[in-house]
Structure 1
Amino acid sequence: MKRLLSFFILSVMMISCGGDDDICESGEGTPRLKVTFKNGDKITKLDSLKVYVDYGVRTVDLGWSRNVDSIFIPLRVDESPYTDLFVKRTRKGDSSRVRISYSTKSIYVSPGCGAKLNYENVSGQLLKSNPVIKLETGQNFIENEEKTNLYLVF
């Protein structure tokens, strides 16, 4: 009887520990900036691209992307109204500096996920050109990762 009671209590504890809100795995977290590339007026694939992101405390190397027409970049989640990106096409080449400005809005998701940030009034400013020639604005808010927010023209 004692063994059966222990088994019952252990089973109830194991079942009550799980739940849908324990893990945030449905893409409900803070969305990333979607950047697409253009050559003139046409969307193009780049053979290579390297992006660095200045998160305030440190600059993070997102690594080389090969044969891509778009990338996703996590923006800052602190109180800063902008994130700086550094973009280069070749190992020894210059890098362009792009400033992404925005305002943020915090949205409660669930007990497991907590809150996420949505970005509003998203705009880009080219602070240093070469290799990027100019910027074109896409969707000016980020609620998910479906639409392009910024076009880099090479």
Structure 2
Amino acid sequence: MKRLLSFLILSLMIISCGGDDDICESGEGTPRMKIMFKKADKVTKLDSIKVYVNYGVRTVDLGWSRNADSILIPLRVDDSPFTDLFVKIQRKGDSSKVRVNYTTKSIYVSPGCGAKLNYENVSGQLLKATPIVKLEPGQNFIENEEKTNLYLVF
């Protein structure tokens, strides 16, 4: 009798384990913004780049990226219509300030993931130059992390 009861409990535990709706594993969450770099109107790799992101409550250091041709930046998920980025390419150099403006659209994904945000009308504004010279727009909406949304020109 104990074996039957143990078997039933084990079977119920295995059956009750859900599938894909339990967790967001397949990239269904809120996408990050893809940024690429240019020098002399050509897409290029940077030896190093460091990005800080102001999320309203605090500024987060995303660390140094080495030999990078692009970076992925998580944007704010609160009601703010912009996210401020601070970009450095040298340890002791100045940092540029870039404001990324957008509108958000909430989309239901699944019971496990809940809702995600898609960003629309994405545009960049260079608030403080050096080392960045200018910004060039890319795709003006973020639904996934495949397309470039902004180019930083050095």
Q: TM-score of the superposition, structure 1-length normalised?
A: 0.97
1:79 pairs with 2:76: no
CA deviation string 1:13-34 (max 9, x = no partner): 3321232211110000000000
**In the alignment, what sits opposite 2:145?**
145
Question: Structure 2 stretches of 5 or more lacking a match?
Answer: none
Structure 1: which amino acid aligns with 2:22? Answer: D
Cα deviation, residue 40, structure 1: 1.8
Question: Structure 1 stretches of 5 or more lacking a match?
Answer: none
**In the alignment, what sits opposite 1:23?**
23
Structure 1: which amino acid aligns with 2:119? Answer: Y
Cα deviation, residue 84, structure 1: 0.1
**In the alignment, what sits opposite 1:134?**
134
Task: Please give the alpha-carbon distance, in whole angstroms, between the structure 1 residues aligned to 2:153 and 2:29.
Answer: 29
1:3-152 alignment runs, 5 A limit: 3-152=3-152
Task: Please give the alpha-carbon distance, in whole angstroms, between the structure 2 residues aligned to 1:120 and 1:132.
Answer: 24
RMSD: 0.9
Secondary structure, in 3 states, of the residue corresponding to 1:12?
helix
Cα deviation, residue 11, structure 1: 1.4
Runs of 4+ in 1 over 6 A off after TM superposition: none
Q: How many residues of Structure 1 are paired with residues of Structure 2 in the alignment?
A: 154
Q: TM-score of the superposition, structure 2-length normalised?
A: 0.97
Cα deviation, residue 2, structure 1: 4.2
Question: Structure 1 vs Structure 2: percent identity of aligned residues?
Answer: 83
Task: Please give the alpha-carbon distance, in whole angstroms, between the structure 1 residues aligned to 2:147 and 2:43.
Answer: 14
Task: Please give the alpha-carbon distance, in whole angstroms, between the structure 2 residues aligned to 1:80 and 1:10.
Answer: 47
